[in-house]
Each structure stands twice: as structure tokens, then as C-alpha cells.
Amino acid sequence: MIIATPIDPEGRSAHSWGKAQWIGVADVRDGSVADWTVHEVRWDESHDAGTHGSHHARVVRFLKEQQIEAVVVDHVGDGMARTLHTMGIPTLQSSPGYAQASVLAALRGHHL
């Protein structure tokens, strides 16, 4: 399962999805992270650079390109929550600490 989560420079869970600077993408297999890639998306800079629609389009493009199946995050805005729901991408609650551990904890709490 391919999971995306916002991260900080040290690899810990970051607060916001739509204003993330970096997104970690985990390929989770058999209960562990088989692959981990960090993408510098700079959504923190692009968030207010245009309309919400253009920003959501950037996020959607990333989700499709990375074949994301779920998002682990502390917070998403209402519009982004609707976008993720429409795409069939569940949003799971992140936990403090290292993002890879947060992804695994979120998956243990849900059967996707």
C-alpha cells in the first residue's frame, strides 16, 4: 500500500497537508515500510500563490503520479478532505514522532 504523509526536515510527522514542504511516501508491505521516498513539494509556498482550485490540482496530480492509496495526516482543510474523499483516498490520523512509525501506527488502526 502506498501512503503519503507530510514530514518535517528531520523526518517527523508534520502538521498540515496542504501547506507541507515535504511529503514522505511509504510503500508498506507485510506491516513494514519497504520503501520510503521524500518529495519536496513546496506546497507551503504554492498554497497562496493562486486559487484553491489550482492548489488542489497540484496536490491531486501528485497523488495520482505517486499512486497514493491513503494519506496519514494530522489536519486537512474541508476542501481537501472533500477532494480526497472524491478520489477514494482515506485520511488516517498521524501521530507525533517519526513519520514512518506514524504511517505504520495509522495502518494498524485501520483495515484498508
**Would you state the pLDDT for residue 48?**
60
Question: Please, which pLDDT band fits residue 51 given cuts at 50, 70 and 90?
Answer: low
**Would you state the pLDDT for residue 56?**
73
Whose cell is 485520511? That residue is: 91
Domain-wise residue ranges, the chain: 2-106
Report the distance separating Cα 21 and Cα 45, nearest Å: 8
**Would you state the pLDDT for residue 84?**
94
**Would you state the pLDDT for residue 44?**
67
**Would you state the pLDDT for residue 13?**
96
Report the distance separating Cα 91 and Cα 101, nearest Å: 16
Tell me the fold of 2-106.
Answer: Nucleotidyltransferase; domain 5 (3.30.420)
Does residue 100 carry a pLDDT above 70? yes
pLDDT digits (tens, 9 = 90+) for 53-81: 666 788 999 999 999 999 999 989 898 89
Per-residue CA distances from 55 to 16, 35, 37, 97 (Å): 14, 27, 22, 28
pLDDT digits (tens, 9 = 90+) for 7-37: 999 999 998 888 889 999 999 999 999 999 9
* Nearest C-alpha neighbor of 27 from the set 52, 50, 5, 43: 5
